[in-house]
Every structure is written in structure tokens, then in C-alpha cells.
Homo-oligomer: A and B are copies of this chain.
């Protein structure tokens, strides 16, 4: 896909001070992505991040009120980016079936290149989504955070693709279930292939995740 100098805007509820507004802010986000990948979300701390960026813990708290808030920010950035790619890739496609296949491929394929039109490494961010994103919404505060719009971008992406499903088959009863199953499922399969291979059938270079879910969706919505 062509790389454009687009700008992804994040809901201001999701940070205390906009990390894009300063070099320090961008460094916090950029470095946190690397560190969450290396250490895992549990072992990642603002203290360690402070050391890594040669800044202070208290300065990081000026941008994000907690590491949970930072994770939610990253997840929203990811889904905004996917939404952009989705809209870009499906515009001017007239066939709903082609649009759906494009969307499913986008959700299930490995993210391999960092287009780097921004300060965010999308390859690493995709790995965080796969390994850590469930931790963002599996908390006792989900309901409250959901009301505040913390999961809007994800929901909007699911809605867009559900609408494509309904274009193809207006009588299909479970479009949201289908799309969220595909998205979460693809993430699980990528994780399992690395860590619990007995739970999957992923093989190097055979594109099995994309093929499996593309076929599953086509057959299911008929």
C-alpha cells in the first residue's frame, strides 16, 4: 500500500497531555512500544521507561495517568490506523464481496512493514495487539471505560465490516459476532503459532491464517 503522510488523531480522553505535542511525548510512545514487546506488559514499568528514555518517571505521568492508559492509547492508535487502511483499501471497490475479502485479509495477515509515516512502529504495535490487547478490556473498569469511549475505534472497525457483510447478505443474523470472531481469532492463531502450536495449524509461508478465515467467512455468510 502507498505510504501517505496522514495523521492519526486520538481521542483526547485517552491521554493527559497529547504525546504528539512534544518530542518527549513521541519518545515515550515510541520507546514504550519497544519495551512492552521486549519485557511484556507486566514487567514493563514507567520507571524502566524513564531510564530508557533518560527522562523521569514523573514526566511520563504527565502524559499518561497509568500504564493501563498508555496501553489503551496504543490500542486506539492501532485501530485508527487499521480503519484508515480499511477505508483506503476498499474505496472504489464496487463489489461487496471484494471489499469483504480485502477487510479479512487486512485483519488476518501478518503486519510486516513499518510504513513509518509516523513515530510508531506498526510491526511491533501489531505484536502488542496480539499479545497484550485482551488485558486492556479484561479489567473491572471496562464498563466505565467503554462509556468514556475507550473502545470506540475498535467498535467502529467492526461496524464498518459488519455493514459490508450485510450488503452481501442482508439476512445474515450475526455480522458482529462473525467479524469480532475473525479479528480476535486471527490474533489468537498468531499467538498460538509462536507459543502453543498444538492449538493451531499455522505453517510458515503458507498464509494459512488468511486462507482459513477468508474461506470461513465466505462459507458462513451464505
21 A-B pairs with CB atoms under 8 Å apart are A42-B140, A132-B138, A134-B138, A137-B196, A138-B191, A151-B196, A176-B198, A176-B200, A176-B201, A177-B189, A177-B200, A177-B201, A177-B202, A177-B208, A180-B199, A181-B188, A181-B216, A184-B184, A184-B185, A216-B216, A219-B219
Bound complex: CA A43 to CA B138 (Å): 12
Cβ–Cβ < 8 Å partners of A143 in chain B: 195
Given contacts A40-B140, A155-B199, A177-B202, 17 further A-B contacts (CB under 8 A): A134-B135, A134-B138, A137-B196, A138-B191, A142-B196, A143-B195, A155-B198, A158-B199, A159-B198, A174-B208, A177-B185, A177-B201, A180-B188, A180-B189, A181-B181, A184-B184, A216-B216
**Cα-based distance from A142 to B197 in the complex (angstroms):** 12
CA distance A137 to B142 in the complex (A): 21
Instruction: Assess whether B181 is in contact with A201, with CB atoms less than 8 Å apart.
Output: no
- In the complex, what distance in Å separates the CA atom of A222 from the CA atom of B216? 10
Centre residue among A155, A189, A199 by max chain B CB count within 10 A = A199
A151 partner residues in chain B, CB cutoff 8 A? 196
Q: Mark A159-197, 1 if CB is under 8 A from B, else 0.
A: 100000000000001111110110011001101100110
Q: Is A39 an interface residue (CB 8 A)?
A: yes
Please give, as numbers and ranges, the residues of chain B lying within 8 Å of A159 by CB-CB distance.
198
Task: Name the distance in Å between A95's Cβ and chain B's nearest Cβ.
Answer: 21
Which chain B residues lie closer than 8 Å to A191 at the CB level? 138
Which B residues touch A196, using CB under 8 A?
137, 142, 146, 151, 155
